[in-house]
Amino acid sequence: MKSSTIKSENLKLSVDYIRQAAKKKIELVCFPEFQMAYSPLEQSARELSTIAENAINGNFITTLRKEAKRHRIKIIATIYENIDTKRKKKTDYRVSDTAIMISEKGDVMSIYRKLHLYDALGFKESVKLVGGNNIERPVKVGIGKIGLEICYDIRFPEMSRILTLDGADVLAIPSGWVQGIMKVEHWQIMLKARAIENGCYVIAPDQVGNIFSGRSMVIDPFGITLLDMGNKEGVGVVEIARDRVESVRKSLPLLKNRRTDVYLDHISSFI
């Protein structure tokens, strides 16, 4: 998806994609990060805050919830969320970068606020965004349990492992991966690494155009690329099988082979 700076345009495009997916009898649609709007570098935190909405009852999510219910389809969406005003000063206009999982009944199943902000490689997301404080438990759906992350989170393997140990069969990682030297290579390598080391599927839709690198991907639990959309916009379709997770974890039992008895002697000294 290539989000513009105009929220209403992105909402219309999102609805179009959902309806395309519904015609293909898709069970789950996963949108990229910044689905609500592209925020140019020159846009201030205050300007971005005028775009943000409530995570449950804002027009953007309310519309997507209605579409989910109408088409009996699950959706993972991303928004800029207005945070509790008690948490910020009157001059602090920063918002949360939030992923929301919606059921086929239109109910909100999970709300995840991006934990790791992209203050790296010349960027400083913390100027406009406020980091979350929680890793949300994986949510059970038809294809297994899905754990949510957002973009820069994939550079922190602890988070993916925590979600996997908490039952995730699939890691859904909506992203707006910024272009740059070695960035596509980092993207591909880390998505595969997170899938292989945890024996899980990785679903990673990415923004295209603007400053982003594209390459929306789906990786299977053994590291096989099931989908690589390049720089195309549109709906890519893959089939997810829970028994594939079980089969890979049985033949490559990385989770069972962990030596937690030894790790515990070292963890506290590094936190």
Residue 205 CA: distances (Å) to CA of 35, 89, 171, 174 = 10, 34, 11, 5
Catalytic residue, chosen from 67, 125, 128, 151, is: 151
Catalytic residue chosen out of the listed positions 7, 33, 67, 149: 33
Residue 183 is a catalytic residue = no
By the 8 A CB rule, do 236 and 180 touch?
no
Active site annotation includes 30: no
67 is catalytic: no
Task: Tell me which residue of 112, 99, 115 sits closest to 152, measured CA to CA.
Answer: 115
Rounded to whole angstroms, how far apart are CA atoms 201 and 163?
12
Asked if 207 and 175 touch (Cβ cutoff 8 Å), the reply is yes
> Sheet of 225-228: strands edge to edge?
139-141, 144-148, 170-172, 201-204, 217-219, 225-228
Helix or strand (DSSP H, E) at 76: strand 74-81
Cβ neighbors of 16 (< 8 A, separation 6 or more) are none
In the set 114, 128, 145, 192, the catalytic residue is 114
Active site residues: 33, 114, 151
